[in-house]
Amino acid sequence: PSWKMMSISIALVLQLAFAAALGPPPCSQRTELLQMASLGRRTMLPLLTSAALPLLTPGAVLPAAASDGLGVADGAIGDRFSVVSDGKVKQLTEIEARDVLTKKVEAATAAGKGLDVNRRGQFNEKALFSEDFYFKYGLRPTPEDLVVKREREGTPEIPYSPVQRRYNGYKKFEPRINAGLALYAGAYRSAIRDGDWAAVAALLEKGSRSSGNNAAGEGTGVAASELRSSCRAMGLFGNTVLQSENDNATTAINLLTRHLINELYFTMDDAAAAAQSKDQVAAKQAWTRGRDYINEYLYLVNLPISAKVGDKFAKLEADI
């Protein structure tokens, strides 16, 4: 099952990240690690990192066998593995491959674009969508990374999804998405700019589950705000336009859009914390980061929106 595969993949990334500190594992554990890598691999689209970050994502020119998120080919030759290093595919031993991959994960983490256990949790359980690009590949590309990648390599390839499927998804989620975009550029922006921290807190209400009924017999749950709810609609919309029911796993570009929405959601957490301390500078910075994540998300989901599906979403041009 895809969930099992992806759990194995993130477990592999985490093991690699700490391998340098722990030293080489026993032979039996190395064998198990190789088996996990074989199970957890997925061929990914040529999307994501910038020219300054040759991390774990292979280039579009690489052979299909070398194109998974860890830079390790599906199917080793003997006891050697195909590893992407400095833009080239090299045949390395298990220990050599582990060292290369560990350095890549460490470089991404040092740049603030790799493992983030504090914010996302050990298994990404703190994210709005736990199964995203970070969950599978251990990377957190920024909107700037994706723009540079696109300028260098052109428009990313979009998986096929039937027109009817895209139309149905658009019809279902478009109202909530556009309502969220309007709030983001409107009331949310104005509340931060005016220092109306009570309004900011209300707009960013995450909601909570009911813990029982109150004295009047009413539920005690709190609904998420419309702005927060729109983030979930954005993530779910990708399921209808960035893959079809025939895909046996979540496509790489759909994982990427979920990552962008997760990061948007985290910027709202940052703005909520800034509102509590009445830190307008931090709140404005969080809003700006969120806007950039939204715009990159909109670029990607607009690609499969044709005239038969509906109108493309408008980019947020507002500043704060």
What average pLDDT is seen over the chain?
79
pLDDT band at 283 (very low <50, low <70, confident <90, very high): very high
**Is the CB of residue 245 less than 8 Å from the CB of residue 165?**
yes
Q: Which residues contact 286 (CB under 8 A, 6 or more apart)?
A: 267, 268, 270, 271, 274
Task: Show the beta-strand stretches assigned E in the chain.
Answer: 80-85, 88-93
Q: Say how far apart CA 27 and CA 11 lie, in whole Å.
A: 18
> How many Å apart are CA 66 and CA 49, to the nearest integer?
16
Bridge partners (DSSP) listed for residue 213: 219
Give pTM, 2 decimals: 0.69
Strand partners, 83: 72, 90
**What tokens were used for 42?**
């997925």
Question: Which of 10-24, 80-94, 140-154, 270-284 is the most confident on average?
Answer: 270-284
- Residue 86, sorted as left (phi over 0), alpha (psi -120 to 50) or beta, turns out to be left
Asked if 290 and 137 count as a contact pair (C-beta separation under 8 A), the reply is no
From 23-32, 85-94, 303-312, the region with the lowest mean pLDDT: 23-32
Per-residue model confidence (pLDDT) at position 45: 36
